[in-house]
Structure 1
Amino acid sequence: MSPRTTPRSQRLCRRPDRPPRLRDGLSAALIALACLLLPFGALAAWAAYGLTDTGRYVRTMAPLAADPAVRNAVADTVGAELTRELGPPLRGVMGPFVQDAARSFTRTDAFRAGWDAANRATHTAVLHAVRQGDEGRPVTVDIAPVAAEVKRRLADDNVPLADRIPVPHTEIAVLPAADADRLRKGYDVLEVAAFWLPLAAVLLAVAGITLAGCRRRAVTATALGTALGGALLGLAIAVGRHLTLAGLPATPHRPAAGAVYDALTATLRTASWLLLALGLAVAAATWLTTRLGPAARPGAPIPPDPVPVPGPTEAQA
């Protein structure tokens, strides 16, 4: 009798007590659910732990003080607010000087310091509104300190009538009331999800691999699912950027908003690339060990299949 030939993958994964199909199906379901929860867990952890750290937020936003699009957006906003406060006789005369002074101010060290202070104040105000703010109220910041600095620079440059420029306490809404209310309601859920979703993904993956009849295949499937989750997370970031910028008014400040979005999501993009690279690396390593294992090397002995022992024949009886 010629020995039966069995595919290599079956020889490597064959176990004497192979579990039933129901167990294999449960393993596949657990691994699929783990891979599905992984990108959502990364997103929730980034939002709950990355965006709520004021110091980290300020450090993330600090380089944008040198971004031309951001500087122009700030200068246009401050200049427009100051020019609006001028009376009609002074608006036409002082308007160009105010705009030039605002643009000049954004290139100084004082602006960079003010930018950090403004971001710290904005972040603190948003966190306060989300955690214990009043419903129906927007989150606002006051641009009076920046306006006062622009006025001082105009006076130092001996610009006529600079001392007559008012310094209004203009509250700029950084988060509308409706968005603040939605964010406040979902904040508690976000904190819970940021802890439990990644933990649940890991536990489900471990359980799925443990239950699998062929753990090598289960590890490969988990790795490929992790890579797919990282790719989907990166795609979600790109789609979110497009939708965020598309929802803004058609103004020249869209490049500044894009720069801010890219700075805030830099950590999340890194996480998506890490998930993709880690998943592909583990899948490749599992495949290589399958190809280069003892059963794959030429001349390596392959355990024979168990041959049933025949019972006594009638003649022997």
Structure 2
Amino acid sequence: MQRAAERVGPMPRLYGFEDQRLSRVREQERQVTREAVSRLLAGQPRSAVVSWMNAEGHRGTMGGEWTNGSLGRYLANPAVAGLERNQAGELVETGRPALITSAEFLQLEAQSGRADAAVREDDFPYLLSEGLTECGLCDHGMTGGRSNAGTPSYRCHDCGRVRVTATALEDYVGEHALAELSRPGTRAALEAAQEEMKVEAEALRVRIQDLVASRGALAEPYAEGHVGRVALAAADGTINEKLKAARSRLRYVEQIADAKLPLGTVKNLVRWWGHAPSSSKRAIIALLFDRVRVLPARARGVRSVDDRVELKWRTAPKV
């Protein structure tokens, strides 16, 4: 029995905590958890929150992207609120640190129960969720999420006036991407774009190292009394935000820079596109397009997107 346990290896830590005993909080992950919970309690669909987390570069403790299921299981763990269930199934305080409040956890439980009873959402990749879509009314980014009917969609969460069915938009963008991939010279252009991404990635790594060093440099003036606690917290918060943005951008750039480009005839490209991982298709789209701009529908119920989408190419398509 002991040998079997040794083969299994250590269990992954719970997101938000530094250790298996849940005695120390990882502050950056606690902030992500709080933001996710705030969005959920404000009424955002779980799929929209998942899209936001992945777009921001937040990953689980094993390095994978979040899904509806993984986020639901994570937030259903009472340990995130410093609680546990006793033998009677009742929630009791543990005295360990909490990422969210007990009241928030109970609200999430009630909300999750209602949502699960209403609809069982399947995971949807949202190929254009990495900041690639743009609202045609207010110019803000669009995020993926379910409509009230449960249909995967993209919606502007700033003005809230532009929404488009995800499959219709992604099919339209995919057709144009495949057409461009089949043209002579496109592969060379994509390889050049990937090289530019690699240069940006290296610059981001240097930037992150500098930010980490600058955060460490705050300790000495604070210890010597030259900087007060409030000023230290403000400076540390500013650096953390810059680190968060830089790390998120780095993960995104690395994904694009390291993507394998497809080869072959048009028929082979179409076959590849139909079975390629979402991350590979997303990378191709990001290399071809700077932004996909979505305009409002002409009338309620119109499903065609042909006259609603403006493709902003990184380079002009060949003719």
TM above 0.5: no
More helix by share: 1
Higher RCO structure, 1 or 2 (CA under 8 Å, sep 6+): 1
**TM-score w.r.t. length of structure 1:** 0.23
Structure 1 or 2, whichever has the larger Rg, is 1
More strand by share: 2
**TM-score w.r.t. length of structure 2:** 0.23
